[in-house]
């Protein structure tokens, strides 16, 4: 019998902490669906299609995971509805610290109320990966710090590319504003 599990998250971007949870989840299930949340209320560095692509490149190209065991998909429905759609009975959630537990515990309780056939399994990444968070990775990258110990090579490349584009557009936006201000100042005289 095939055991299917879902590992939902924003993965903005995927880190080695997420990868560690994926490895551990694959020891429990035969097939794992890495479900990329497309919650429009959040401000993401990458859109859901980009995050799906980044995850696929990280797992299948950089780390050589087998495609037959892992499916990477975007989603914007309840996680319990996603479980029904794929006939999954396990939701995997990663815990980094005690501070994560309260939120995750409440989320698991709500999922249980929505569908009591679905179990939530909490997994902790290895100790050296527990401090890694997508938020910190983006912050370090924005401040020109090294992120290669936290994310794969292709993810590093995507983050640097995105930040370069942001800086490029920001530079030209301010350059455009300065030109417009100078033009107005000459009109005032």
Q: Half-sphere exposure of residue 36, counting CA atoms within 13 Å on the CB side?
A: 21
* pLDDT tens, residue by residue, 40-84: 777 899 999 999 999 999 999 999 999 999 999 999 999 999 999
* Residues, the chain: 189
Task: Write down the mean pLDDT value for the chain.
Answer: 89
Q: Is 138 a catalytic residue?
A: no
Annotated catalytic residue, options 125, 134, 138, 154: 134
Rg (the chain; Cα; Å)? 20
Q: Is 175 a catalytic residue?
A: no
Annotated catalytic residue, options 18, 56, 93, 129: 18
Comparing 62-66, 108-112, 161-165, the range with the smallest average pLDDT is 161-165
Bigger pLDDT: 95 vs 175: 95
Q: Is 42 a catalytic residue?
A: yes
Gap between the Cα atoms of 155 and 181, Å rounded: 39
Give the pLDDT band of residue 1 (cuts 50, 70, 90).
Answer: confident
Buried b (16+ CB within 10 A) or exposed e, 40-71: eeeebbbebebbbbbbbbbbeeeeebeeeebe
Q: Is 96 a catalytic residue?
A: yes
Q: What angle do CA 31, 35, 36 make, to 5 degrees?
A: 150
User: Is there a contact between 11 and 18 (Cβ–Cβ < 8 Å)?
Assistant: yes
Annotated catalytic residue, options 27, 41, 42, 68: 42
pTM for the complete prediction?
A: 0.85
Annotated catalytic residue, options 23, 71, 84, 96: 96
Tell me: cis bond preceding 13? Omega within 30 of 0 counts.
yes
């Amino acid at each position: 019998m095939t055991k299917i599990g879902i590992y939902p998250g924003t993965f903005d971007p995927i880190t080695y902490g997420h990868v560690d949870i994926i490895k551990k989840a694959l020891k429990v299930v035969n097939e794992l669906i890495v479900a990329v949340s497309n919650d429009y209320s959040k401000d993401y560095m990458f859109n859901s299609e980009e995050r799906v692509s980044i995850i696929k490149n990280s797992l299948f190209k950089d780390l050589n995971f087998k495609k037959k065991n892992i499916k990477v998909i975007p989603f914007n429905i309840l996680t319990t509805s996603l479980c029904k759609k794929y006939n999954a009975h396990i939701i995997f959630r990663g815990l980094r610290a005690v501070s994560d537990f309260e939120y995750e515990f409440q989320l698991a309780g709500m999922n249980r109320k929505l569908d009591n056939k679905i179990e939530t399994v909490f997994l902790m990444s290895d100790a050296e990966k527990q401090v890694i968070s997508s938020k910190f990775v983006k912050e370090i990258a924005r401040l020109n710090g090294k992120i290669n110990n936290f994310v794969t090579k292709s993810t590093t490349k995507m983050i640097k590319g995105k930040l370069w584009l942001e800086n490029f557009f920001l530079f030209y936006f301010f350059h455009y504003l300065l030109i417009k201000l100078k033009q107005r100042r000459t009109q005032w005289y």
